[in-house]
Amino acid sequence: MNLKSVHDFAIKTIMEAGIRIRDSFQEELLIETKSNVNDFVTNIDRETESFFVKKIREFDPAHKILGEEGMGDRIITLDGPLWIIDPIDGTMNFIKQHRHFMITIGFFVDGVGQLGYIYDVMRDELLYAIRGEGAYLGKVPLKKLEPLSIEEAIIGINSSWIIPNQKVNHEKMVDLIRTVRGTRSYGSAAMEIAFVSSGKLDAYLSMRLSPWDIGGGLIIAKEVGAEITNLQGKPFNLLGEDTFIIANPSIHKVLLDQYIELR
Ligand code: IPD
Ligand code: CA
Ligand code: CA
């Protein structure tokens, strides 16, 4: 497979999708809820995924597609070439703020990440990685992450971690918040993964993410030395939902061993 031609195709298609999304603000948005009253999908999420599926089918019909909105294939194995697509990550931000949402895409072959993309549509900022060739923000190569202490860290975390919950001991999370330099919550997993990969955050935790939230980020993170696992320290399950942590490698183990006590 000529990975360079797949990469060129991916960048061109992401840029076209970005223009379509920005143009969509001229039209009325159709909003529906999915699993609960705060879980939204819009016609633009669906239209953007359809756009990617159509373009990928034209590019190479042998490539499989796992997309959040279900317009691709039913995926039960990671064998062969596979695109993992979230057409809009941060739909609530998209609807409410008209910013802070990402297109994120990963391209895998036999379960191994080859190409990863996180595109901030409103800032027109593309973060991408090619396996073994590093990660780039636009044309600028990203540096490997520098070590730091937990006291110096800024952590991406939302309020559900510090109220009593069924997943983790929330008191230990309160300890963590007292220990670190600061916390942030951006409402787009892909954006938070991009921020950890580029050193703007030092870790990001989630109690539940899906493969499309992290597919692109997984490949970018690896190129800069960020560590991604589930909260048990095992590889994230790309065929289902899983818990999630991405961290600067110097604090990944500290977070898992000292602060995240799973119930
Ligand atoms: C969501 C966002 C959000 C995260 C949720 C995701 P969506 O993706 O990434 O930040 O907390 O778990 O489902 O629904 O906007 O694509
Ligand atoms: Ca998502
Ligand atoms: Ca989405």
End-to-end CA distance of the chain: 44
192 CA: nearest ligand 1 atom: 10
| Ligand 1 site-directed mutation target among 209, 212, 214, 246, most atoms within 8 Å of CB | 209
CA-CA-CA-CA torsion sign (218, 73, 126, 92) = negative
The first and second tokens of residue 138, run together, are 């636009």
pLDDT of residue 142: 98
Residue pair 232/253 in contact by the 8 Å Cβ criterion: no
The string of pLDDT tens digits covering residues 198-232 is 999 999 999 999 999 999 999 999 999 999 999 99
When pLDDT is averaged across residues 97-123 and rounded to a whole number, the result is: 98
When pLDDT is averaged across residues 188-205 and rounded to a whole number, the result is: 98
Nearest Cα residue to 237 out of 196, 209, 203: 209
% of the chain with per-residue pLDDT over 90: 99
pLDDT of residue 15: 98
Q: Residue 164 above 90 pLDDT?
A: yes
pLDDT of residue 136: 98
Q: Residue 55 above 90 pLDDT?
A: yes
pLDDT of residue 258: 98
Cα 89 to averaged position of ligand 1 atoms, centre (Å): 6
The string of pLDDT tens digits covering residues 125-154 is 999 999 999 999 999 999 999 999 999 999
The string of pLDDT tens digits covering residues 234-247 is 999 999 999 999 99
When pLDDT is averaged across residues 186-205 and rounded to a whole number, the result is: 98
Nearest Cα residue to 191 out of 49, 108, 90: 90
In angstroms, the CA 119 to CA 91 distance is 14
When pLDDT is averaged across residues 172-189 and rounded to a whole number, the result is: 98
How many CB atoms are located within 10 Å of the residue 19 CB? 11
Average per-residue pLDDT for the chain: 97
Conformation bin of residue 71: beta by default, left when phi > 0, alpha when psi is -120 to 50: alpha
In angstroms, the CA 255 to CA 245 distance is 9
pTM, entire model? 0.97
Q: DSSP letter for 143, please.
A: P
User: Under DSSP, is residue 180 helix (H, G, I), strand (E, B) or coil?
Assistant: coil
pLDDT of residue 1: 83
213 CA: nearest ligand 1 atom: 9
In angstroms, the CA 73 to CA 42 distance is 20
When pLDDT is averaged across residues 45-65 and rounded to a whole number, the result is: 98
Q: Residue 57 above 90 pLDDT?
A: yes
Nearest Cα residue to 228 out of 207, 249, 250: 249
| Ligand 1 site-directed mutation target among 88, 213, 246, most atoms within 8 Å of CB | 213
Q: Residue 157 above 90 pLDDT?
A: yes
In angstroms, the CA 21 to CA 124 distance is 11
Q: Which residues are CB-neighbours of 110 under 8 A, at least 6 positions away?
A: 78, 79, 80
Which residue ranges have their beta carbon within 6 Å of ligand 1?
Answer: 86, 89-91, 187-189, 206, 209, 213
